[in-house]
Structure 1
Amino acid sequence: MTSRHIPPADRTGATRDTQSPALSLEFMAFRELHLPRYLSYARVWFREPGRAAEAVEHAFRALAAVWPEILVSSNPTAAAWQIVRGAVTEHTTRPAGPTDPGAVDEDLAILHYVVGLATPEIADVVGTDTASVASQLRHALRHDTEW
């Protein structure tokens, strides 16, 4: 049985400070929901799991710093995804930038074919609709995106 008062450890063994007054319940819920998928995505770009976890932690610190603005944006999940992508890109020599349309197809292909997420899950992670994800995955396959 797990105590709710003990910060849970992630798979790298690091603990999170869930008692920080600056972190809202909404932020912590968002983190719990998206952390496993963000880590799975980041692990594709790094050989060492610790580096992937570091990039994702960097992203969550950046998200926490702008969380009120994220919440009032037109699409909080999409805004958060861009921060995660940016943190992963910043921590690696990843060639594609966040505004590169090919990078979007590549990310969706990675989430689907490498991480193993279904299109509704991908839509939830990146903040878009399922039909858009399905269309972009078909586009990536047609254009033989190298990922």
Structure 2
Amino acid sequence: MQTSPHDHRGTLAAPLAYEAFLALHRPHYLAYARARLGPTGADAAVTGAFAALLCRWPGVISSCSPAAQAWQILSRRVRAHAGEPPGRTAEDVLAEDVRVLMSLGYDAEHSAGLTGVPVGTVHSLLRRP
């Protein structure tokens, strides 16, 4: 039996690994985005981030840290929806993101898993002024 990459509606079906990633991360991404944008902007930002992620999925999933790649996409989308100008260092952005996650009750290990960085990096970022 030959399988098709299309679903029963004739649209291109998302890879199973992507669907699993979406199911696992979307609630946490929404919590982060809601903390930054409120409920309306959060849904649009997260939906846009996952759409961008799907377009880049083969490269993301083959990278050494798919979670880090996905988080960068989400973080950029949220910042764009917030109207923040670009130009901050990646480390400053990640430090702020980790602080937001911690304010939501995520511990360092969970924050590290979501952002795709080592736990030691999370601890280091939290010590920054």
Q: TM-score, normalised by structure 1?
A: 0.74
Task: Report the count of equivalent residues.
Answer: 121
Q: Which runs of 4+ in 1 moved over 3 A?
A: 95-100
Equivalent position amino acid for 1:24 in 2: P
Counterpart-to-counterpart distance in 1, 2:127 and 2:36: 23
Q: CA deviation at 1:21?
A: 3.8
Residue 58 of structure 1: how far off its partner (Å): 0.2
Quote the RMSD (CA, aligned, Å).
2.0
The aligned counterpart of 1:32 is 23
**Match of residue 128 from structure 1:** 117
Say if 1:123 and 1:130, in contact at 8 Å, map to a contact too. Answer: yes
Unaligned runs of 5+ in 1: 1-18
CA contact (8 A) 2:46 2:74 kept: yes
Structure with the larger RCO, 1 or 2 (CA within 8 Å, 6+ apart): 2
Partner residue, 1:7: none
Note if contact 2:98-2:122 (Cα within 8 Å) is conserved in structure 1. Answer: yes
What is the CA–CA distance in structure 2 between the aligned matches of 1:80 and 1:100, rounded to whole Å? 14
Write the distance in 1 (CA, Å) between the matches of 2:91 and 2:121: 13
- Go from structure 1 to structure 2 and tell me whether the alpha carbon gap of 1:134 and 1:96 turns closer, same or farther (over 3 Å shift): farther
Task: Tell me the residue number matched to 1:14.
Answer: none
Q: Which runs of 5+ in 2 are unaligned?
A: 1-8
TM-score, normalising length: structure 2: 0.84
1:43 maps to what in 2?
34
